[in-house]
């Protein structure tokens, strides 16, 4: 149960909020003085604080600063009068989650408390996952808690200690390279090299030179001996990405390497023994490619000792919030920004999107959003235009509605999402309440 504090010098506010939030399942304590609250905060920290900006003994901004110094994870919601809204905005810049104005609306309070509860739950789940994976250092880069990802973790743990070849199959952007690295990190070969090579878009000669190396004078321009990637991976793992793109002549040579555990450099005569593990990856159906003569059947069976299939992101939607949080943290650090939240409207759009580019596409979307957002929260306006359009495409109705009809539908949709909380609806729409009331009257919405 989350611990929640109400800090307000009005006894009636403390009583109303305490009763409302206790019914929502929170452990609630109320304080009318800042110093008594801070003393209690030291003894037993709170997860959520509703903080009045004007208190008899301390300024609200100072109390916010002390809360964050005691426990950075505590989420603070500012309660303010109309005359101190500018100060409340300053509080948001200094780490507060949100602010509400007096007189307080109990439905708005419930909705905000639920949003913060979900935010805390997501953060705790992230921490739990990272702790659970500490013993599996190779898996920490794979984010998710869905049944599909848990099955993937189980398969990786099983196959990693066994020195056999592995075929990783999955669509573009599903994380095949991450899985290959995880297998290597969890294997007895983890102290030896992990060498990756993309088999697509190269000629036979270039692939031979890169994989096998060459002797000095083997061909024009070979002015020095070059060690190939297979030889450089001695004792470790070779990851062959896009194996389905490898030309047939090179498939014959790779088959020989896997069977004989030996290579010869281009232009060389002395065989070189190899002790390597091969992990291959493809977004193609290799069995289909074999049937159509595009991939050697004998090589397919040599590579496919153990097969791991990766799910599309659309098949594990419950992982989307965790991935969003991970990428927000990653690009906030990269761009020297403090983007810590995502608006419910933006989260809904991202949760409903189909992701043809899988996790890689989601990462690109969040990278763009973190770069563009002007605050600490990603909004729908920070997402690509085609994703923003999804919110409108899902609305009911045939034909092309007028702009006025589109606006009416959208306002009703937001009202429904907020439980007809007009204050929260106005905030999401980014318009004054008076403007919202006028539009509701114009459109005949009660």
Same domain for 297 and 190? yes
Quick one: pLDDT at residue 233? 92
In a domain, 46, yes or no: yes
Give the pairing of strands 306-309 and 166-169: parallel
Contact 146, 319 (CB under 8 A): yes
C-alpha span between 125 and 148 (Å, rounded): 17
CATH classification of the domain holding 423: 1.10.10.60
Same domain for 114 and 147? no
Domain C-terminal end among 311, 328, 344 = 311
Contact 208, 254 (CB under 8 A): no
Token pair 């905005």 in the structure block, residue: 89
Q: Give me the DSSP letters along 107-168.
A: HHHHHHHHHHHHHHHHHHHHHHHHHHTTT-GGGTTS---SHHHHHHHHHHHHHTTS---EEE
CA-wise closest residue to 367 among 339, 331, 329:
331
In a domain, 390, yes or no: no
Quick one: pLDDT at residue 239? 96
Same domain for 413 and 372? no
- Specify the number of domains making up the chain: 4
Domain C-terminal end among 311, 335, 354 = 311
In a domain, 304, yes or no: yes
In a domain, 389, yes or no: no
SS3 readout for 195-250: EEEECCCCCHHHHHHHHHEECCCCCCCCCCCEECHHHHCCCCEEEEECHHHCCHHH
Token pair 């600063």 in the structure block, residue: 65
Question: 0.85 cut: is pTM over it?
Answer: no
Same domain for 300 and 319? no
| Secondary structure of residue 341 in the 3-state scheme | strand
Same domain for 217 and 347? no
CA-wise closest residue to 283 among 204, 207, 199, 218:
199
In a domain, 378, yes or no: yes
Same domain for 284 and 251? yes
Same domain for 167 and 282? yes
CATH classification of the domain holding 276: 3.40.50.300
Same domain for 300 and 156? yes
In a domain, 412, yes or no: yes
CATH classification of the domain holding 371: 1.10.8.60
Contact 50, 79 (CB under 8 A): yes
pLDDT along the chain (446 residues), means of 10: 93 93 94 95 94 90 92 90 69 84 88 87 66 53 87 93 95 93 92 91 84 85 86 94 93 93 88 93 94 95 96 92 91 89 86 90 94 90 79 49 70 78 76 81 76
Contact 124, 145 (CB under 8 A): no
Same domain for 380 and 328? yes
Same domain for 293 and 361? no
Quick one: pLDDT at residue 98? 86
Angstrom CA distances, 340 to 96, 120, 300, 329, stand at: 11, 12, 46, 7
Same domain for 28 and 102? yes
Same domain for 306 and 207? yes
What is the span of the domain harbouring residue 436?
A: 395-446
Domain C-terminal end among 99, 130, 161 = 130
In a domain, 345, yes or no: yes
In a domain, 135, yes or no: no
CATH classification of the domain holding 43: 3.40.50.2300
Quick one: pLDDT at residue 446? 64
């Amino acid at each position: 149960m989350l611990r929640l504090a109400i800090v307000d010098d009005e006894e009636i506010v403390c009583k109303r909020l305490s009763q409302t939030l206790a019914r929502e399942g929170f452990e609630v304590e109320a304080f009318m003085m800042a110093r008594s609250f801070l003393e209690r905060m030291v003894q037993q920290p709170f997860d959520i604080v509703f903080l009045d900006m004007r208190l008899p003994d301390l300024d609200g901004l100072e109390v916010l600063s002390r809360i964050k110094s005691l426990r950075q994870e505590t989420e603070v919601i500012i309660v303010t009068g109309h005359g101190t809204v500018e100060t409340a905005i300053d509080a948001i810049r200094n780490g507060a989650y949100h602010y509400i104005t007096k007189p307080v609306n109990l439905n708005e309070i419930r909705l905000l408390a639920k949003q913060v509860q979900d935010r805390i739950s997501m953060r705790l789940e992230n921490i739990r996952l990272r702790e659970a994976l500490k013993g599996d250092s190779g898996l920490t880069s794979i984010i998710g808690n869905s049944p599909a990802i848990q099955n993937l973790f189980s398969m990786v743990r099983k196959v990693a200690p066994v020195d056999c070849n592995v075929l990783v199959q999955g669509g573009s952007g599903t994380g095949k390279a991450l899985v290959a690295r995880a297998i290597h990190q969890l294997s007895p070969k983890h102290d030896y090299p992990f060498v990756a090579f993309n088999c697509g878009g190269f000629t036979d000669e270039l692939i031979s030179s890169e994989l096998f190396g060459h002797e000095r004078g083997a061909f024009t321009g070979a002015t020095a001996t070059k060690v190939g990637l297979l030889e450089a991976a001695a004792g470790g793992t070779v990851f062959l990405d896009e194996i389905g793109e490898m030309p047939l002549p090179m498939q014959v040579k790779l088959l020989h390497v896997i069977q004989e555990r030996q290579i010869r450099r281009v232009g060389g005569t002395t065989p070189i023994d190899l002790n390597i593990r091969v992990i291959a990856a493809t977004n193609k159906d290799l069995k289909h490619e074999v049937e159509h003569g595009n991939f050697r059947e004998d090589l397919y069976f040599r590579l496919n000792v153990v097969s791991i299939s990766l799910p599309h992101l659309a098949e594990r939607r419950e992982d989307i919030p965790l991935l969003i949080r991970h990428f927000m943290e990653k690009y906030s650090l990269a761009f020297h920004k403090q983007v810590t939240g995502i608006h419910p409207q933006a989260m809904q759009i991202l949760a409903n999107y189909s992701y043809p580019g899988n996790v890689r596409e989601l990462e690109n979307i969040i990278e763009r959003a973190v770069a563009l957002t002007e605050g600490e929260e990603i909004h729908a306006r920070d997402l690509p235009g085609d994703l923003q359009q999804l919110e409108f495409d899902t609305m009911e109705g045939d034909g092309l509605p007028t702009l006025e009809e589109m606006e009416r539908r959208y306002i009703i949709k937001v009202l429904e999402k907020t439980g007809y909380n007009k204050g929260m609806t106005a905030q999401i729409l980014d318009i004054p309440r008076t403007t919202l009331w006028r539009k509701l009257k114009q459109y005949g919405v009660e």
